[in-house]
Structure 1
Amino acid sequence: MAKEKDTGRKMVAQNKKARHDYTILDTYECGLVLMGTEVKSLRMGRASLVDGFVQIDGGEAWLHNIHVPEYVQGTWTNHSAKRKRKLLMHRAEIDKLESKSQETGHTIVPLALYFTNGRVKVEIALAKGKKEYDKRQTLREKQDTRETNRAISAARRRQRSA
């Protein structure tokens, strides 16, 4: 688990695919209702957010398809790896997310899973799906920026050595 110095977060898992497949409109930090063995498994730095999504049922936000593997030393109290987990959010945030997510093309996806002050938090985002040409355009922009930065740093190195 990598610890980010300025925020005090211990990152457990990130969903880089979500940032590639979706345009992020708004982000929220939420708590999770977990079992003890889930927390122990997360402390070992094991989780996957790739297929995850958030669904709002009956005024409650639920996180689906997050894979938290079973705790190795757990007994009969162990959890199931892909169970749905309740998100802890304010009522106004849930209502806002529910109304926005019902618009065409919008969804709610998890971006990161981390520890803050010993508590497990998940960063979720209201997102809109990208078209294939949008994804190509984003990759092209990243590549152009990378090439520009390389050219600038190479020119600076040549300038220093001369």
Structure 2
Amino acid sequence: MSETPALIGSGQGDRRWATLGFDEIMELATRLVSLGAAWTSDPRSFAAAVGWPISASAPGVDQLVTGPGTAKGYVYAREDRVFGVELPITMPVPYDDVDRLGYLFTILSPTLEEALGRSTEPRSTSRHEIVWANDDLRLSLVQTTNDIRLLTFRKEDRQ
């Protein structure tokens, strides 16, 4: 696999619309799934494995340094055991441009299945979420009110 993609920054448009490209999202999803159980050992080992250092910590949440001027990424842990990761796919966008964000989300919607194959879970009923799962992990590509994020959680810890 090539070096870790610079989260948000190589994509289309001006700075406020920077986003990961389709191939970069597929690579990121593949990397997260291929880490196996090793990424759950502690937040710093996960950060080292994906190539983004941790800048600050709060109880249960570590912030990832995903690049200059980017939206924030997070590693969620309990008792030094990682159970989830939240990574920005786009920079936050102006609230008055939500249609453009929805269009981008629609374009990205086949990404997880193309990168990882068929999911063990049915499709999400939400039009703002694309879900992929295997026996251990659940990945969701989620459109929020002002950005798109990739969330990865171990199935045993998901609530």
Tell me whether the two structures share a fold, i.e. TM-score over 0.5. Answer: no
Larger strand proportion, structure 1 or 2? 1
Higher relative contact order (CA 8 A, sep 6+): 1
Larger radius of gyration: 1
Task: Give the TM-score of the pair, scaled to structure 2.
Answer: 0.26
